[in-house]
Amino acid sequence: MTIKPPRQILPVLERLKEAYKIWHAYHEKLPKTQKYSLGNRIDKLFVEIIEMVCSAIFLSKTEKLPYIKVAIRKLDTIKIMIMILWESGSFEDKQYITLSVPLDDSGKMLGGWHGQISKQNSPTKAGEK
């Protein structure tokens, strides 16, 4: 039997997957009061963002934009909720920084994708006036 290497995925999905794996390890160790409130909400948002990005991949250029916008909005919500966990003492500085890096990278990638799709969908293409 031949073992095939895993398929290549979009860099933004790779970063989101990396962030989720970090989050998952932290989520398990949160105090119960945070784990079952903010923790579960953050977990759900991660899954929803990954679903939005996966959906956008297979859509036409004109249909992608709403999915990317929702993913950006949900990612921004996660960032705020993570900040709340950190400020409330449920996260240590190192945990906050470790999780923030792939989240920020994912945000930049989603923002770039949004900008690219917006330009491609605009009525006046680059170079036309």
- 31-62, pLDDT tens digit by residue? 999 999 999 999 999 999 999 999 999 999 88
Higher per-residue confidence, 122 vs 117? 117
| Structure confidence at residue 127 as a pLDDT band (50, 70, 90) | low
User: Would you say residue 4 lies in a domain?
Assistant: no
User: Would you say residue 126 lies in a domain?
Assistant: no
| Structure confidence at residue 112 as a pLDDT band (50, 70, 90) | very high
Give how many domains the chain has, as a whole number: 1
Instruction: Convert the pLDDT of each residue in 77-90 to its tens digit.
Output: 999 999 999 999 99
Indicate the burial class of 32 (C-beta count within 10 angstroms; 0-12, 13-18, 19 or more).
exposed
- Please state the pTM of the whole predicted model: 0.87
- Domain coverage including residue 102: 11-120
Where residue 16 sits, what CATH number does that domain have?
1.20.1440.60
Asked if 77 contacts 45 with a C-beta cutoff of 8 angstroms, the reply is yes
User: Would you say residue 128 lies in a domain?
Assistant: no
DSSP string, 81-121: HHHHHHHTTSS-HHHHHHHHHHHHHHHHHHHHHHHHHHHHH
User: Would you say residue 127 lies in a domain?
Assistant: no
Cα(71)–Cα(45) distance, integer angstroms: 9
User: Would you say residue 41 lies in a domain?
Assistant: yes
